Amino acid sequence: MDLTPYVENLRHELAVAADTGGDEARALAERLTAPLESATRLTLLNVLSAAMGEVTRELAPGSVDVRLRGLDPEFVVTPPPAPEPFQEPQTPVTAPAVPAPPPPPPADADDGAMARINFRLPAHLKGRAENAAAAEGLSVNAWLVRAVSTALDGGERASTPGRSKDSGSRGFTGWVR
């Protein structure tokens, strides 16, 4: 942004005002405008910086910065980051051998942050979840927390200590989508 037209306009307005005071006032105004040019530019830069600070507060998390290049300010606009669209993870046709993910943290692990949700579950699934939780000696809530954690951390269920994957009709393996 070129500030020169604005500084020249101020110089012209001072000259017009000084003309009303006679030749001495006009000469004094001409002597004062040269040293005032840098002060005028600095004042205009301060005004622009303050204005861009207000714009940045309204634009957050984006921003607008004022940078000085030579005698003229330059505006640098940083738009807010665009939200990334959700993409389903693509399962390759032939998956390479990957080490098993670490077992999920125990359901009673407390990181201090808890969230409450209302969960509507068909009655037949509720009964199955209750049976599965009871078979593992867990509350339904603890069992669901572990199931969600396991599903999000790799899709494979970690085996419970003391139980094998081949525990007959009492065990569950895999997940249904």
| pLDDT for 53 | 80
Residue 101 has pLDDT above 80, yes or no: no
Who wins on pLDDT, 52 or 163? 52
Domain chopping of the chain, boundaries:
4-78, 102-164+169-173
> Band of the pLDDT at 128, cuts 50, 70, 90?
very high
pTM score, whole prediction? 0.39
Q: What is the pLDDT of residue 15?
A: 83
Q: Is the pLDDT of residue 161 over 60?
A: no
Query: Among 37-41, 144-148, 165-169, whose mean pLDDT is lowest?
Result: 165-169
Tell me what percent of the chain is helix, strand and coil, each rounded to the nearest 5. Answer: 45, 10, 45
- The span from the CA of 55 to the CA of 75, in Å, is 12
- CB atoms closer than 10 angstroms to residue 48: 16
pLDDT of 158 higher than 50:
no
Residue 31 phi, psi dihedral angles, 5° rounding:
-70, -30
Length of the chain: 177
Whole-number pLDDT of residue 131: 93
Of 54, 57, 75, nearest in space to 66 by CA = 75
Residue 60, pLDDT above cutoff 80: no
Sorting pLDDT into bands at 50, 70 and 90, what band is 104? low
Amino acid symbol at 80: P
**Predicted local confidence at residue 10, as pLDDT:** 85
Picking from 14, 68, 16, 22, the residue whose alpha carbon sits closest to that of residue 45 is 68
At 112, the pLDDT band (50, 70, 90 cuts) reads low
Supply the mean pLDDT for the chain.
75
Residue 153 has pLDDT above 90, yes or no: no
Strand, helix or coil for residue 68? strand
Q: What pLDDT score does 119 carry?
A: 78
> 123-135 and 140-152 helices cross at what angle (nearest 10)?
90
Model pLDDT, residue 165: 43
